[in-house]
Structure 1
Amino acid sequence: MKQQSYENHTRYHPLQHFIWLPLSLVTLISSIIYAGIAIKNGKFSLNVFLILALVVLSIIAGMLARMNALTVQNRLIRVEEQFRHYVLTNEPIDPRLTLPQLIALRFASDEEFPALAKKAAQNKMNPDEIKKAITYWRADEHRV
């Protein structure tokens, strides 16, 4: 497996990004067009409504599943990074750090993590700046 770095840390889930999302978009557009044609022709019925409703509900269900998994993942990252900081420094992490900053800091090696966390809090660094400041990348291969 290729060494993870700033340039290649973005992760795509093929079923999510290349199958579910495009098919959802095509299905949604098609069902809206179908409903529009039915309305225009005076043939809008319960069946047309149900098709449109099922498409929208299936997209919402998929989006909620993804959002809920990411919410849990973000909560875990926050706890892990707070704990890692405490283990490394015997001090709590700076409470000024935001969740997006902590998510970015998870890629920092143990050697540079405490100093970078302090710098990120003091300078209000954005997540992209934090990632670019990392010298020794700590791979995260278990993301959702």
Structure 2
Amino acid sequence: METQSYKNHIRFYPPHHFVYYPIVMGFIIVSIYFAATTSDTLIWSFVAAIFVVLFCLAFMIRQHYALTLQNRIVRLEMRYRYFTLTNKRYEIIENEISDEQLFALRFASDEELIPLIDKTLSQHLSGSEIKKAIVNWKGDYSRV
């Protein structure tokens, strides 16, 4: 498996990204084509609208469930790592760090995490700035 970094940390879910979505998009295009070229415009427009709704719903539901669960797990992981490294409760500073910052900090190695948290709190770094500041990237190969 390739070592994870800022440039390659985005992952795809092949059944959705490369099978389901292209098929639904194909059906949408075919439905719009038939709506424009046949006398059954109303029926084909309705079919196209159904496929558009299915496309949007599938994307939203898949993303919502996966991201909600992943966010909870990352928060728990960060609480555990912070406590393990500092012997202090993470909840003390949790409200000062945004979700974007927290999700970027998880990629920091244990050696970099505490100094990077301190830098984030003092300089209000964005998630992207945090990721770019990480020298020893701790890959997350299990996320959805």
Normalising by structure 1, what TM-score? Answer: 0.81
Q: Is 1:67 equivalent to 2:87 in the alignment?
A: no
Unaligned runs of 5+ in 1: none
Q: Structure 1 stretches (4+) deviating beyond 6 angstroms?
A: none
> Percent of counterpart pairs with the same letter?
37
Counterpart mapping for 1:73-88 below 5 A: 73-88=70-85
Structure 1 residue 25, shift from structure 2 partner: 2.5
For the 8 Å contact 2:24–2:55, the answer to whether it is kept is yes
Structure 1 residue 16, shift from structure 2 partner: 2.4
Question: How big is the alpha-carbon RMSD for the aligned residues of Structure 1 and Structure 2?
Answer: 2.2
Deviations 1:69-119 (A, max 9, x none): 112111211221122112211223322111111111111111111111121
Structure 1 residue 44, shift from structure 2 partner: 4.5
Aligned residues: 140
Deviations 1:107-137 (A, max 9, x none): 1111111111121122111111111111111
Unaligned runs of 5+ in 2: none
Who is 1:123 aligned against?
123
Normalising by structure 2, what TM-score? Answer: 0.81
Q: What SS does structure 2 have at the residue aligned with 1:10?
A: coil
Aligned partners of 1:66 and 1:9: how far apart in 2? 17
